[in-house]
Amino acid sequence: MRKSFGRRPGFTLVELLVVIAIIGILVGLLLPAVQAAREAARRMQCSNNVKQITLSCHNYESAYKRFPAMQCGTGGVHPGSIQGSAQRFAMSGHYAILPFIEQNALFQSITNDGREPWNGAAPFRQRAPFLECPSNPGDQEPTNAGRTRGLNNYGYCAGDNYAASMVIQGATKERGSVALSGQKLPIVNRGLFGRSYARISDASDGTSNTIALSEFIRPFSNQGAGMVLGIAADPATYAPLSCRAQWNGRNWLTPSLIYTGDTARGFRAWEGKVFFAGVTTILPPNQASCFLFVGTGEPHWEGGIFSAGSFHTGGVQVGMADGSVRFVSSNIDTGNLAVPAPAATSGVPSPFGVWGALGSKAGGETVSVPE
């Protein structure tokens, strides 16, 4: 008796191709959802960081009855000042709040070293996770390799003036004057933070209407977002629109103005110059940053526009002075950007719309973060 064998069941080539095509379509549909879920998690982590830092500032205020200074430290700005070099009056508010965010060991390590924050010693290379937003790629200094001194994505709000990090009296700058540097004069901005210690009562516009902290972009390319332009201009007559016109959302229109003379912004976590540790509320989030200088010297000590920014879609997260965290759209109203920024000591309403008003602590405006 003969056995009869039928055809062995299997898939034809056409069927296999159809299955592969269906799998490819499903992966294509699912991938954006997975990426969106990952970004949502990263954004939540950034929000938690903003919350932690803002609450740490409140813990500092509970202990000292004042908020920490954005820029502080021992010594004078000029290396030959009476106090010697020491910390060169250039430590950041992030350093000051370390004991209030369960980082006392790191605080003691930096304090015991006692040198300036751009020093290459081990304490200044320490990274603190609460200062890094995982949405921001890159952890290597793009302009001057090896100069990374901790990473940072969060800046204290200096307000809507061209915030500076040294005192300039007429033609005399602290960086070039032992006498002026030795006075260790305060720098008060229209926002809560500067080289000074603000009280809660200084926020007469209301703590729920005053920004304390914001995200900013740490660049991963020396031609990309987050870099700062150096503009030779008089702050008394310079209009923010001129800075805004340099960035089209993808590229710099005058790359030769990009400042590459020192470490890029976001790569010195423990330094308190506005360039490294601050934001201004002049140009809207995710716009250009420009410091303004006249003459020679150390230009990134001088005043300018240091814009908030992030890699989140549509805007940035800010910490308000009452401890809450809000999301601010990149399309927020910025008023009249054709006029120069108001003087740091002025009490006038901000010319820069809702964004400027949220940054100033005592402009007399009645605004809140748009929902």
Query: Would you place residue 296 in the very low, low, confident or very high pLDDT band (cuts 50, 70, 90)?
Result: low
Query: Would you place residue 297 in the very low, low, confident or very high pLDDT band (cuts 50, 70, 90)?
Result: low
Cα 358 to chain centroid, rounded: 16
Is the per-residue pLDDT at 4 higher than 60? no
Is the per-residue pLDDT at 6 higher than 80? no
Query: Would you place residue 1 in the very low, low, confident or very high pLDDT band (cuts 50, 70, 90)?
Result: very low
Is residue 80 situated within a structural domain?
A: yes
pLDDT tens digit sequence for 142-183: 988 888 899 999 999 999 999 999 998 888 889 889 999 989
Is residue 8 situated within a structural domain?
A: no
Is the per-residue pLDDT at 44 higher than 60? yes
Residue 174 CA neighbour count, 13 Å, CB half: 25
Q: What's the pLDDT score for residue 25?
A: 82
Q: Parallel, antiparallel, or unpaired for β 315-320 and 211-215?
A: antiparallel
* Total domain count, the chain: 1
Query: Would you place residue 11 in the very low, low, confident or very high pLDDT band (cuts 50, 70, 90)?
Result: low
Q: What's the pLDDT score for residue 156?
A: 98
The DSSP-derived string for 284-352 is PTTS--EEEE-SSS-GGGS-EE-----SSTTEEEEEETTS-EEEEETT-----TTSPPPPTT--SPPSS
Q: What's the pLDDT score for residue 37?
A: 73
How much of the chain, in percent, has pLDDT values that exceed 70? 94
Q: What's the pLDDT score for residue 34?
A: 63
Is residue 206 situated within a structural domain?
A: yes
Contact 183, 176 (CB under 8 A): no
Is the per-residue pLDDT at 295 higher than 70? no
Query: Which residue range(s) make up the domain with 276?
Result: 49-359
Lowest model confidence (mean pLDDT) among 7-16, 75-84, 300-309: 7-16
Is residue 230 situated within a structural domain?
A: yes
pLDDT tens digit sequence for 224-249: 999 999 999 999 999 999 999 999 98
Distance CA 153, CA 318 (A): 12
The mean pLDDT of the chain is 91
Q: What's the pLDDT score for residue 162?
A: 97
Q: What's the pLDDT score for residue 363?
A: 85
Is residue 22 situated within a structural domain?
A: no
Is residue 17 situated within a structural domain?
A: no
Q: Parallel, antiparallel, or unpaired for β 211-215 and 290-293?
A: unpaired
Is the per-residue pLDDT at 286 higher than 70? yes
Distance CA 146, CA 310 (A): 24
Contact 218, 153 (CB under 8 A): yes
Is residue 270 situated within a structural domain?
A: yes
Is residue 248 situated within a structural domain?
A: yes
